[in-house]
């Protein structure tokens, strides 16, 4: 098959949700329906066994959350689907945000009882900023939940985009009758149970049949009224509007009961876009170009703390990857020839033989690859758009045993490169290194990993800072004036980008007014 054909059949997406909405359950059911796994339960089981393997994972286990995201690949119809998991917990959202830069679409899972929850809102903001198309799945209709019309208006107000239901629930909870498929004009009758596949469901094709009112009670007439109402008010589904992130198709179901999953899988294949061009500083890169290029969007420490190797997750941007090919790391100019590249086919780690745009490959390495690195066959390309977010929490860090200061610096550098934490070196001499995070848990993970992987007992101390802004200025004189007057509040991150640290938003406002020539940024893009 040609590169262009391979690219066209790729679908790369992330699932976003609030914890407990049913992301893990839906992921597993998608794999099941695509035939990538045989029995339900294996994703959860793997999640559990992974936990056992290292100390810092212990924290995840205790908190019952998933810190690390992973990648799954499956084939469905003629498509290759790459599904990137995002940690649902509020902590580690930085990592999650970066995962969203590696996908072409997102699947939003909502708990129908809770609607749009805080964690989902933050993730949605990133999708909105990037115009990522979003498919919505409203889960748990086997429970007493919110009314579908209410849910839709809630989604619309949070997303700022039109919702276009392509299915409609008949009843809910104990009276959940099934869903009307508004495209095919039939009804899929609900049955509970985890063993069924979509083919096993009863499908009703005559939606006008009078016995349906008897069979499903008032819920049936209500659903039909709602559909009428909504079809009069809502715009029809417009594929182009979806691709531009202006409309989201909405599905209803119950993931745990394998119900409504088929529709979601089909929508991914039918609607989600194949990989498109990616912007580099030098030029736009087309996915079907013959030469390979890719970006490291995530670095994950190996589960085995004794070996300090890490896996760099690379999203292929163009060309054809083959095992053993020579690749250039653009930042350093170094050549690597990865042989043990891993893919993530249906939860097993397989050795990858080849990959195309949209695919994710993992390259184990010992620090050669950093977050944001670009790999090519030789061309110098710098992709834009890998975001670093201004931390919201700060702690100063010191080492208990002064003889281990070097290990502390090495550890923090490596953890910083991984994106586990942000490290700031104060401008003022003698100041302790500062750690910046989005979630409190990041500090705990870093302290634990410094201990187990680098043998460093780190002391974390409160810091008076509460926010950071990277700054730039076109006028060198104005910049100089600003940095001279504010040296005590300036620190440099791992790539030596200067940031202004403030103790309150009031302080930041004052500085902004005093120095209008300085631009302050809450986000820094790599490259």
89 in contact with ligand GDP (CB under 6 A): no
30 in contact with ligand GDP (CB under 6 A): no
Please report, as residue ranges, which positions from 488 to 527 form the binding site for ligand GDP (by CB under 6 A): none
Tally Cβ neighbours within 10 Å of residue 185. 10
Options 7, 8, 14, 22; binder of ligand GDP; rule CB under 6 A: 22
Please report, as residue ranges, which positions from 217 to 256 form the binding site for ligand GDP (by CB under 6 A): 254-256
- Dist CA 269 CA 461 (whole Å): 50
In the numeric block, which tokens belong to residue 413? 């550098």
Q: How far is the CB of 337 from ligand GDP (least distance, A)?
A: 38
DSSP annotation of 69 reads -
Say if residue 20 carries a ligand binding annotation.
yes
* Terminal-to-terminal C-alpha distance of the chain: 34
Please report, as residue ranges, which positions from 440 to 479 form the binding site for ligand GDP (by CB under 6 A): none
DSSP annotation of 53 reads T
Please report, as residue ranges, which positions from 120 to 179 form the binding site for ligand GDP (by CB under 6 A): 139-140, 142-143
Tally Cβ neighbours within 10 Å of residue 96. 25
- Where b means 16+ CB within 10 Å and e means fewer, 322-338 reads eeebebbbbbeeeebeb
Cα 303 to chain centroid distance, Å, stands at 20
Binding-residue pattern over the window 255 to 274 for ligand GDP, x denoting contact by CB under 6 A? xxx-----------------
Part in contact with ligand GDP (CB under 6 A); list of ranges 20-28, 91-99, 156-164, 210-218: 20-28
In the numeric block, which tokens belong to residue 13? 């997406």
- Dist CA 135 CA 153 (whole Å): 16
Closer Cβ to ligand GDP, 256 or 311, answer by number? 256
115 in contact with ligand GDP (CB under 6 A): no
21 in contact with ligand GDP (CB under 6 A): yes
Say if residue 85 carries a ligand binding annotation.
yes
Part in contact with ligand GDP (CB under 6 A); list of ranges 22-30, 278-286, 291-299, 424-432: 22-30
Element (DSSP H or E) covering residue 265:
helix 261-271
Do 271 and 133 meet the contact criterion of CB atoms below 8 Å apart? yes
347 in contact with ligand GDP (CB under 6 A): no
In the numeric block, which tokens belong to residue 302? 């190996």
Options 20, 58, 201, 377; binder of ligand GDP; rule CB under 6 A: 20
Q: How far is the CB of 25 from ligand GDP (least distance, A)?
A: 3
Q: How far is the CB of 187 from ligand GDP (least distance, A)?
A: 18
Q: How far is the CB of 27 from ligand GDP (least distance, A)?
A: 7
Say if residue 22 carries a ligand binding annotation.
yes
Q: How far is the CB of 338 from ligand GDP (least distance, A)?
A: 32
Closer Cβ to ligand GDP, 96 or 414, answer by number? 96
Say if residue 237 carries a ligand binding annotation.
no
Count of positions on this chain that bind ligand GDP (CB under 6 A) = 17
The sign one gets for the Cα dihedral 279, 283, 289, 293 is: negative
Options 8, 11, 23, 315; binder of ligand GDP; rule CB under 6 A: 23
- Dist CA 57 CA 68 (whole Å): 9
Options 12, 17, 86, 395; binder of ligand GDP; rule CB under 6 A: 17
Binding-residue pattern over the window 32 to 71 for ligand GDP, x denoting contact by CB under 6 A? ----------------------------------------
Say if residue 475 carries a ligand binding annotation.
no
Q: Which residues contact 306 (CB under 8 A, 6 or more apart)?
A: none
Options 25, 82, 120, 347; binder of ligand GDP; rule CB under 6 A: 25
Say if residue 89 carries a ligand binding annotation.
yes
Closer Cβ to ligand GDP, 70 or 139, answer by number? 139
- Dist CA 370 CA 473 (whole Å): 27
Helices (H) and strands (E) in the chain — how many of each?
15, 33
Q: Which residues contact 506 (CB under 8 A, 6 or more apart)?
A: none
> 198 exposed, middle or buried (CB, 10 Å; 0-12, 13-18, 19+)?
middle
Say if residue 218 carries a ligand binding annotation.
no
SS3 450: helix
Do 219 and 177 meet the contact criterion of CB atoms below 8 Å apart? yes
Residues in the chain: 527
Q: How far is the CB of 49 from ligand GDP (least distance, A)?
A: 16
Cα 136 to chain centroid distance, Å, stands at 15
Q: Per the annotation, where are the binding residues?
A: 17-24, 85-89, 139-142
Q: Per the annotation, where are the binding residues for GTP?
A: 17-24, 85-89, 139-142
* Interaction site with ligand GDP (CB under 6 A): 17, 19-25, 88, 139-140, 142-143, 254-257
């Amino acid at each position: 098959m040609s590169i262009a054909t391979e690219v066209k059949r790729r679908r790369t997406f992330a699932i976003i949700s609030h914890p407990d909405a049913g992301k893990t359950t839906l992921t597993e059911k998608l794999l099941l329906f695509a035939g990538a796994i045989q029995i339900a339960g294996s994703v959860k089981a793997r999640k559990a066994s992974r936990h056992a393997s290292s100390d810092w994972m212990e924290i995840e286990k205790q908190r019952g959350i998933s810190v690390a995201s992973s990648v799954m690949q499956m084939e469905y119809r003629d498509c290759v689907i790459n599904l990137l998991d995002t940690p649902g917990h509020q902590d580690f959202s930085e990592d999650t945000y970066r995962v969203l830069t590696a996908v072409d679409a997102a699947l939003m899972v909502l708990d129908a009882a809770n609607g749009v929850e805080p964690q989902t809102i933050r993730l949605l903001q990133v999708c909105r900023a990037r115009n990522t198309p979003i498919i919505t799945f409203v889960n748990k209709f086997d429970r007493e939940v919110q009314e579908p019309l209410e849910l839709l208006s809630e989604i619309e107000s949070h997303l700022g985009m039109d919702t276009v239901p392509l299915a409609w629930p008949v009843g809910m909870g104990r009276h959940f009758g099934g869903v009307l498929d508004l495209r095919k004009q039939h009804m899929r009758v609900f049955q509970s149970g985890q063993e069924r596949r979509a083919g096993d469901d009863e499908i009703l094709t005559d939606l006008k049949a009078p016995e349906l009112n008897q069979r499903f009670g008032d819920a049936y007439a209500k659903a039909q009224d709602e559909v009428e109402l909504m079809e009069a008010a809502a715009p029809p589904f417009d594929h182009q509007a979806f691709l531009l992130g202006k409309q989201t198709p909405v599905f209803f179901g119950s993931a745990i009961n394998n119900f409504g999953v088929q529709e979601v899988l089909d929508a991914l294949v039918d609607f989600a876009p194949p990989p498109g061009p990616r912007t580099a500083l030098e030029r736009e890169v087309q996915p079907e170009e013959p030469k390979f290029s890719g970006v490291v969007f995530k670095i994950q420490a190996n589960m085995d703390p004794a070996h300090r190797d890490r896996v760099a997750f690379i999203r292929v941007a163009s060309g054809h990857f083959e095992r053993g090919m020579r690749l250039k790391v653009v930042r350093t100019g170094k050549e690597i020839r990865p042989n043990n590249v891993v893919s993530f086919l249906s939860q097993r780690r397989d050795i990858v033989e080849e990959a195309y745009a949209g695919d994710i490959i993992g390259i184990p390495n010992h620090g050669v690859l950093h977050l944001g690195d670009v790999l090519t066959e030789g061309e110098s390309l710098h992709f834009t758009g890998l975001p670093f977010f201004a931390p919201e929490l700060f702690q100063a860090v010191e080492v208990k045993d002064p003889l281990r200061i070097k290990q502390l610096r090495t550890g923090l550098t490596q953890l910083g490169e991984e994106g586990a934490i942000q490290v700031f070196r104060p401008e003022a001499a003698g100041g302790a290194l500062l750690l910046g995070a989005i979630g409190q848990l990041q500090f705990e993970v870093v302290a634990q990993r410094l201990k187990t992987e680098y043998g460093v007992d780190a002391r974390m101390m409160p810091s008076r800072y509460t926010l950071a802004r990277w700054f730039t200025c076109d006028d060198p004189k104005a910049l100089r004036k600003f940095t001279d007057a504010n040296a005590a509040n300036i620190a440099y991150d791992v790539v030596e980008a200067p940031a202004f640290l403030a103790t309150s938003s009031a302080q930041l406002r004052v500085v902004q007014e005093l120095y209008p020539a300085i631009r302050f940024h809450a986000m820094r893009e790599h490259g």
